[in-house]
Amino acid sequence: MRKVWFVLGALVVASLGMARVKQSAAQEKPKDSQAAAGEYKISPEDVDKKNPVKATPEGLAAARKIYGYDCAMCHGPKGDGKGDIVDSMKLTMHDWREPASLEGKTDGELFYIITKGKGKMMGEGDRVSETVRWNMVSLVRSYSKKDAGE
């Protein structure tokens, strides 16, 4: 009788172990698909969007405030890509002060990335207004201009 209980106990433990492995594997799949989603494609309609918000000192100030809270930790306070957590997160950032770093990027693409995020970067989504997000596009563009942020 002891052998029967021992065998049944072993089967239960083995079954629980296998169920746990399957559960862990199932939880890892979204991470893999999320990594693949990091290589998303922006629709042509989003790429072609033009910035409808004229850059003003007030608009740039509002964008700079959000940038300071949410973006500077990685992108650097002046867009140089040398934020405080770049090394610890092993990130490679662009220096937006160099015009080539944004060359070929449309305002629509920048707006999409600011809104939706990209890679490890979380998007602003609806946390900030559309106007502020467009002002953030202008702010990012301003870093590559002479005397930017000085």
Question: Which residue, chain included where needed, has tokens 């409808």?
Answer: 52
* Structural domain includes residue 16: yes
104: DSSP letter: T
Bridging pattern class, strands 117-118 and 121-122: antiparallel
Based on the domain organization, do 66 and 138 belong to the same domain? yes
Structural domains in the chain (count): 2
- Residue in 149, 74, 87 with CA at minimum distance from that of residue 117: 74
* Position 87, amino acid: D
Based on the domain organization, do 32 and 87 belong to the same domain? no
∠ CA(40), CA(136), CA(140), 5° rounding?
Answer: 80
Contact partners, residue 102, CB within 8 Å, separation at least 6: 94, 96, 110, 140, 141, 144
How many C-alpha atoms does 63 have within 13 Å on its Cβ side? Answer: 26
CA–CA distance, 71 with 79 (Å, rounded to integer): 9
* Structural domain includes residue 147: no
Domain containing residue 2: 1-37
Based on the domain organization, do 83 and 53 belong to the same domain? yes
Based on the domain organization, do 30 and 52 belong to the same domain? no
- Residue in 111, 100, 103, 124 with CA at minimum distance from that of residue 48: 111
* Structural domain includes residue 56: yes
**102 close to 144: Cβ distance less than 8 angstroms:** yes
pLDDT (tens digit, 0 to 9) for every residue of the chain, 150 residues total?
767 666 555 555 556 555 555 554 444 444 443 444 445 689 999 999 999 999 999 999 999 999 999 999 999 999 999 999 999 999 999 999 999 999 999 999 999 999 999 999 999 999 999 999 999 999 999 999 865 544
CA–CA distance, 145 with 72 (Å, rounded to integer): 18
What pLDDT score was predicted for residue 107?
Answer: 97
What pLDDT score was predicted for residue 29?
Answer: 41
Whole-model pTM: value is 0.71
**Domain harbouring 117, CATH code:** 1.10.760.10
CA–CA distance, 110 with 136 (Å, rounded to integer): 9
